[in-house]
Structure 1
Amino acid sequence: MSTASEAHRPAGRPRTAVLSRERILAAAFELADVRGGDFTLAALARSLGVRPSALHHYFAGKDELIAGMRGQLTARIGDHGFETSPWHVAILSWARAHRLTFGAHPGIIAALATLPVADEPESIVDYERIAAALRRDGYPEHRIVPAIVAIESFIIGSALDSLAPEDNLRPVANRGIAPHLTGAEEAARDHALARGHSAATETFEFGLTALVAGLRAAGTSAETDPTSGADA
């Protein structure tokens, strides 16, 4: 038996839209987690049960969709106190959040890393916070962007490394020809275990600390140009 509300329900399309920007982005992440960043808009449309043309009401093309995905991930990373803390302090918690957030969607990392920031607002705001903190703390202006790129490159590599086996550098069939590597790899895993970390996390923390320390030193040394020996 129909209720009164059912009897007066208007016919035709539902008042709420079938699609939304958030629903499309969520489906894109699900698809990328399975197929990687080379998925097509046609495949995304199929997963949503709509025609590809319906997606263009929200995203002009795949590049704009990828930019939206990056913006959503960047928003999840959050602000880590760059306005009030020294850059080399705030960058540590930012880098950890960055690695975990991007590492949760490894299939899309390459596409996210190679697409220009352009006009994607969340990433621009995020980078602006970091650049402003570096500049405020007296970092050489011509080294600010290289420092940010160096840190983010390390984070992206670490996010991918976290997916590799714990012993991915351990010789197996040829242990006899690499005794030093074998011993070092075992020592690294034992050290991480003793600290309650995975090998990937311990490696990330060591590398992050060393990288930030090196960038601080390079930014405060007036006499030494760290690129002086690089090829022109």
Structure 2
Amino acid sequence: MPRQGEIGMSTESPRRAGRPRTAILNRDRITEHALSLVSQDGYDALTMQQLARSLGVSPSALYNHVDSKHDLLQWIQELVMAQVDTSAFGKLDIHDALIQWATSYRNVFALHIPLIPIIAVLPVANSPRTIAMYEHVAETLKTHGLAESEVIPTIVALESFIFGSAMDTGAPHDIFDTSNHREATPHFTQAVAAQRATGVNTSDDSFGRGLRALVTGLLASRDLT
């Protein structure tokens, strides 16, 4: 006859299979939830309390992993910037490399438009991936003859266009509707109608035109072509 504690008479309760009672927190999971909140509802939606709620934990548990909202923004910056393709640098000529990088940059932020006003002014000191991206661009510009004092202004000029173009992807289709002012704006109204007749995506076409002109102009101004 088995004694207590032997098979069939264990006093221990069997461990239940399934999900743990407490949500598992790590940097990746926290950052993905934070990015989702900002992308859907904007910067103001990102509070530690709201983030903790979306993760299914208490704010105190969240603070065990991240110190502040500022740190969260740095984590988000790292996550998003990792998606920007810099592989063309060192492989393609400078013109094509800048075009490919800027296009990837714009497309990434077109998916996260509410982030633009935040990331555009966020210091990069604690974002190694962002710094690495800038290093690729800076090295390419310098290697092809741009003066060091001109590298940052050139990058900022490109970024300003990139961010603005990313925001433009969220513009309503009828943004240039002149139905109430057609008589006063015959040229503009006809231009809008002509563009719509092409069936071409205005945002994408405008970005491509502007980017090519900007890159060509910047390179030509320094005799780098």
TM over 0.5: yes
Structure 2 residue aligned with 1:224 = none
Determine the C-alpha separation between the residues in 2 that align with 1:209 and 1:97.
14
Q: Structure 1 residues 186, 20: CA separation in 2 closer, same or farther (over 3 Å shift)?
A: same
Q: 1:103 deviation in Å?
A: 1.0
2:209 is the counterpart of 1:206: yes
Are 1:141 and 2:148 matched, yes or no? yes
Report deviation, 1:31.
1.1
* Aligned position for 1:230: none
Deviation of 1:37 after TM superposition, in Å, equals 1.4
Equivalent residue runs for 1:119-158 within 5 Å: 119-158=126-165
CA distance in 1, matches of 2:27, 2:134: 24
* Mapped contact 1:33–1:107 kept (Cα < 8 A): yes
- In structure 1, the partner of 2:92 is 85
| TM-score normalised by structure 1 residue count | 0.82
List aligned pairs for 1:3-42, cutoff 5 A: 9=15, 14=20, 18-39=24-45, 40-42=47-49
Unmatched 5+ stretches in structure 2: 1-11
Aligned to 1:101: 108
> What do you get for the CA RMSD once the two structures are aligned?
2.4
1:85 Cα offset (Å):
2.5
Aligned length, in residue pairs? 211
Task: Please report how far the alpha carbon of residue 83 of structure 1 lies from its aligned counterpart in structure 2 after TM superposition.
Answer: 2.0
> What is the Cα deviation at residue 207 of structure 1?
0.8
1:215 aligns with 2:182: no
Following superposition, the deviation at residue 10 of structure 1 comes to: 8.9
**Do residues 171 (structure 1) and 178 (structure 2) align?**
yes
Describe the SS at the equivalent of 2:183.
helix
Instruction: Work out whether residues 80 and 91 of structure 1, in 8 Å CA contact, stay in contact via their aligned partners in 2.
Output: no
Change (3 A) 1:15 1:91: farther
Structure 2 CA distance for partners of 1:153 and 1:90, relative to 1, 3 Å: same
Would the aligned equivalents of 1:109 and 1:156 in 2 still touch at CA under 8 Å?
A: yes
| Distance 1:54-1:218 versus aligned 2 partners, 3 A rule | farther
User: Distance between the aligned counterparts of 1:218 and 1:170, measured in 2?
Assistant: 37
Q: Percent identity?
A: 40
Deviation sequence 1:163-215 (CA, Å, 0-9, x none): 11234123121111111211222233334x2xxx4111001101111111111
Letter in 2 for 1:68: W
What TM-score results when the alignment is normalised by the length of structure 2? 0.85
Q: Judge conservation of contact 1:37–1:108 (CA < 8 Å) in 2.
A: yes
User: How far, CA to CA, are the matches of 2:123 and 2:197 in structure 1?
Assistant: 40
Distance 1:145 1:27, change over 3 A: same
Whole-Å separation in 1 of the counterparts to 2:150 and 2:131 = 18
Q: How many Å apart are 1:7 and its aligned residue?
A: 6.2
Q: How does 1:53-72 map to 2 (within 5 A)?
A: 53-72=60-79
Instruction: Give the distance between the partners of 2:129 and 2:172, measured in 1 at CA.
Output: 33
Structure 2 contact 23–56 (Cα < 8 Å) conserved: no
**Letter of the 1:36 counterpart:** G
Q: Report deviation, 1:101.
A: 0.9
Counterpart of 2:169?
162
- Bigger Rg, which one: 2
Q: 1:52 to 1:218 in 2, by over 3 A?
A: farther
Between 1:83-92 and 1:123-132, the stretch displaced more is 83-92
Q: 1:74 aligns with which of 66, 70, 81?
A: 81
For residues 216 and 190 of structure 1, the distance between their equivalents in structure 2, rounded to whole angstroms, comes to 34
Q: Which amino acid aligns with 2:68?
A: G
